[in-house]
Amino acid sequence: MKKIIFVLLAVSSLFCFSCGKKEKVVKMGTNAAFPPFEWIEGKDVVGFDITLSELIAKDYGQKLKVVDMSFDGLIAALQAGSVDFIASGMTATDERRKSVDFSEPYYSSKQTIIVRADDKTVSAVSDLKKKTVGVQAGTTGEIYVTEDVEGADVKSFKTVIDAALALKNGAIDAIVVDELPAKEIVKRNPELKIVDDDFFTDEYAIAVKKGNPELLASINKTIATIKANGVYQKMLESYMPLEGEAKILKAEDLR
């Protein structure tokens, strides 16, 4: 009997030994309803931020796991440790800096307005007063419209895709959202159009839990490297082509 227990223990310790040697996993949190930065294609989460995260994970020497969740839950998930970083077209704001660390910025965006193509009443953000405006919950667009567009009736949605449906149905009058997702939504819904008015800019950065300088430094190094070696440019050309469809890149195609 003793012998059997000993053998069992020896075998299980062998197993644990190989467990320890398994490649470590770095978990990235995102909200995959924000093309071209992240969206769902078949059963995969793809997009600019996913390619960036694959490169980040590779440089950090770990395997990437993408966790898709609601945008307004991302920071809490990071703080709770269920993800290690956020790559979700997230704007580095001072308010968010109180609870997370941000990498160097990797993309400059601005907010735009989407309305129905036949709408003649909205040509600037000031026309959103007294309108019902859809935004994604937890975003800078939501904060902006709530705080700065006096008299607007703000309706928050889980994703901008949901907001676009409501706009098509006539349940809301407009959407305020980041520029490139707005362009993608309009491309897929010709009954909608973009109203371009410069009213708010966003700098996207990767968020890391406070007190993780090693991962933060590694992410900053990846961003600096790809900007210097042409990979970043290639990513822009694939995901944000001036014409035609976005092309999905794999990290292994890039180095």
Where on the chain is the footprint of ligand ARG (CB under 6 A)?
30-31, 33-34, 38, 71, 88-91, 136, 139-140, 178, 202
Contact in structure between 103 and 219 (CB atoms under 8 Å): yes
Q: State the nearest-atom distance from the C-beta of 251 to ligand ARG, in Å.
A: 19
Q: State the nearest-atom distance from the C-beta of 218 to ligand ARG, in Å.
A: 22
Q: State the nearest-atom distance from the C-beta of 47 to ligand ARG, in Å.
A: 9
Q: Are strands 153-157 and 132-136 parallel, antiparallel or unpaired?
A: parallel
Q: State the nearest-atom distance from the C-beta of 37 to ligand ARG, in Å.
A: 6
Note the helical H segments in the chain.
2-21, 48-60, 74-80, 94-97, 140-148, 160-169, 179-188, 213-229, 231-239
- Separation CA 76–CA 79 (nearest Å): 5
Instruction: Name the residue nearer to ligand ARG (CB basis): 30 or 119.
Output: 30
Instruction: Name the residue nearer to ligand ARG (CB basis): 101 or 202.
Output: 202
Q: Please state the φ and ψ torsions of residue 9, each to the nearest 5 degrees.
A: -60, -40
C-alpha dist (Å) from residue 110 to 45, 54, 77, 210? 24, 25, 26, 27
Instruction: Name the residue nearer to ligand ARG (CB basis): 92 or 119.
Output: 92
Q: State the nearest-atom distance from the C-beta of 140 to ligand ARG, in Å.
A: 4
Q: State the nearest-atom distance from the C-beta of 95 to ligand ARG, in Å.
A: 10
Instruction: Name the residue nearer to ligand ARG (CB basis): 34 or 232.
Output: 34
Instruction: Name the residue nearer to ligand ARG (CB basis): 51 or 88.
Output: 88
Instruction: Name the residue nearer to ligand ARG (CB basis): 50 or 119.
Output: 50
C-alpha dist (Å) from residue 172 to 105, 157, 196? 33, 11, 19
Determine the 3-state secondary structure of 122 from DSSP.
Answer: coil
C-alpha dist (Å) from residue 190 to 107, 117, 118, 164? 27, 8, 11, 11
